[in-house]
Structure 1
């Protein structure tokens, strides 16, 4: 009955149901399921820790204690802040370079053919393989890590932008030209808005790559950051601190993706469309 009333009110209001809505599903059920999932995960984590040495596998209680200690002495906040600064800086630069480049490559056949060998060659080189070169060019400071994150972000954004341009129906461009739009108007008023879902998808994937890259870079060459924190804890067999760093990385990445998803839904609502990756 509740589902029928909800569906009826939705039809009367003329508003589409919210993302993930199912007939008969209450808001409480949608909130309870993720909480239950996390609870089951922690229970399994605790169960496994009973049969493994704490030196090799930290328990939830051991990890919580290490979290409190690192929070109180300020090491967690300082390391997390250092990593986030590098991630956001490199990621933003990657977007600023990758989005225009991808849109131009998708719109210009000649430019795409000219730069395609470089794009498809460089995108297969892992960012961590360039770490020695980055250190040689930028030193062991922030520059080398920001360079690697930028490198890891650009090509994902470029490829998604190209895919977005390819997905635009040709008739859409023809209609714009028949209405008197010039090439510049078609690009900014047709091509760019139509590729927004693909650009948001590329930005989300690039954010995931940025987190992966920064941890690897900080483990090898850094004096701060979550990767450095995990690597240093390993040297002193501080398993709880290691797990704390791992969990904080996952949590920050999750929150960053949720924020991008939220902003993406607001942006895409202007165009009456949705995220091609299924923003949730």
Structure 2
């Protein structure tokens, strides 16, 4: 009896029941509509099987993830140092924070036309759009991490004879790592979300292109496949990032 209860608890905690209910509701709902409007789970899975067998789905995933990775890494490399400087140096913060607080409310999709004009229809415009979507969550969390460092730690470091630079690198940055890591995770989700917009208007391959062009062929099941693929990729990527963060940054308080 105890073993059965444990199994039930594991199933409930895993969220399996939620997914089963969702699939059941989806299947029931699809019975009242055509496949062009709302394909059921079985129709969608069959469509996914065809895309996998042809190799198109894996090719689109690989291309989209390459774009996401480039934009995400470039965003991190820019946003973390910029956030550290804006958060720590008051004069730099006074100059650049108004721009940050203005542009962070402008969505990346608003720059699609401009980026196409400036960078062309190739990879640069897509990476630039993802870069834009990444830098703000990373930068804002970095600034917050710097500004929430315990003053007692800074005072203790200075009382031991550490100058400003040493305090910055040995106290402030290590203390801000958990916030920075949170920003990096949010930046990854922003990059994956943005890839759909980037590939909808200027691409011939990728998950966003698959979702956008499916409407032309009334392949609604392909749209569902693209949506689920992005969700699965994002979920797995975040779990992998969390695992790496816990292992590599545990001493900084990342859990």
Alignment partner, residue 58 of structure 2: 77
TM-score (norm 2): 0.93
Alignment partner, residue 158 of structure 2: 177
Alignment partner, residue 109 of structure 2: 128
Secondary structure at 2:38 match in 1: coil
Please, which runs of 5 or more residues in structure 2 have no aligned partner?
Answer: none
Whether 1:263 aligns to 2:244 is yes
Kindly report which structure 2 residues correspond to 1:149-164, keeping only aligned pairs within 5 A, or say none.
149-164=130-145
TM-score (norm 1): 0.85
CA apart distance, 1:30: 3.4
Whether 1:63 aligns to 2:44 is yes
CA apart distance, 1:182: 1.7
Q: How much is the aligned-residue C-alpha RMSD, in angstroms?
A: 1.7
**Count, aligned residues:** 251
2:30 and 2:39 in contact (8 A); partners too: yes
Kindly report which structure 2 residues correspond to 1:1-280, keeping only aligned pairs within 5 A, or say none.
29-30=9-10, 32-33=12-13, 34-271=15-252, 273-274=253-254
CA apart distance, 1:26: 5.0
CA apart distance, 1:265: 2.2
Secondary structure at 1:43 match in 2: helix
CA apart distance, 1:31: 5.2
2:119 and 2:125 in contact (8 A); partners too: yes
CA apart distance, 1:115: 0.8
Instruction: Provide closer, same or farther for how the CA distance between residues 167 and 50 of structure 1 changes in structure 2, counting only shifts above 3 A.
Output: same
Secondary structure at 1:195 match in 2: helix
If each structure's helix is expressed as a fraction of its own residues, which one has the higher value?
2
Query: Deviations along 1:182-235, whole A, 9 cap, x unmatched?
Result: 222111111111111111111111111111211012111111110101111111
CA apart distance, 1:32: 5.0
2-structure distance, mates of 1:46, 1:255: 26
Please, which runs of 5 or more residues in structure 1 have no aligned partner?
Answer: 3-24, 276-280
Instruction: Provide closer, same or farther for how the CA distance between residues 27 and 141 of structure 1 changes in structure 2, counting only shifts above 3 A.
Output: farther
1-structure distance, mates of 2:10, 2:70: 35
CA apart distance, 1:36: 2.1
1-structure distance, mates of 2:131, 2:148: 26
Secondary structure at 2:35 match in 1: coil
Instruction: Provide closer, same or farther for how the CA distance between residues 100 and 27 of structure 1 changes in structure 2, counting only shifts above 3 A.
Output: farther
2:26 and 2:41 in contact (8 A); partners too: yes
Alignment partner, residue 6 of structure 1: none
